[in-house]
Amino acid sequence: QVQLVQSGAEVKKPGASVKLSCKTSGYTFTSYYVHWFRQAPGQGLEWLGEIRPWGGSTNYAEKFQGRITLTRDTSTTTVYMQLNSLDSEDTALYYCARDGSGTLHFWFDSWGQGTLVTVSS
Partner 1 sequence: QSVLTQPPSMSAAPGQKVTISCSGSSSNIGDNFVSWYQQLPGTAPKLLIYDNTERPSDIPDRFSGSKSGTSASLAITGLQTGDEADYYCGTWDSSLNIGVLGGGTRVTVL
Nearer to partner 1, 54 or 114 (CB): 114
Q: Which of 51, 112, 115, 119 binds partner 1 (CB under 8 A)?
A: 112
Q: Which one-letter DSSP state was computed for residue 40?
A: -
Asked if 20 and 8 touch (Cβ cutoff 8 Å), the reply is no
7 forms part of the interface with partner 1 (CB under 8 A): no
Taking CA atoms, 96 is separated from 8, 14, 16, 45, 90, in Å, by 13, 23, 21, 12, 16
Taking CA atoms, 82 is separated from 75, 101, 103, 117, in Å, by 19, 25, 24, 12
CB of 16 to partner 1, least distance (A): 26
Choices 9-17, 22-30, 74-82, 111-119 (CB under 8 A): range interacting with partner 1:
111-119
Asked if 23 and 74 touch (Cβ cutoff 8 Å), the reply is no
Nearer to partner 1, 4 or 119 (CB): 4
d(CA 103, CA 82) in angstroms, rounded, equals 24
57 forms part of the interface with partner 1 (CB under 8 A): no
90 forms part of the interface with partner 1 (CB under 8 A): no
89 forms part of the interface with partner 1 (CB under 8 A): no
CB of 112 to partner 1, least distance (A): 7
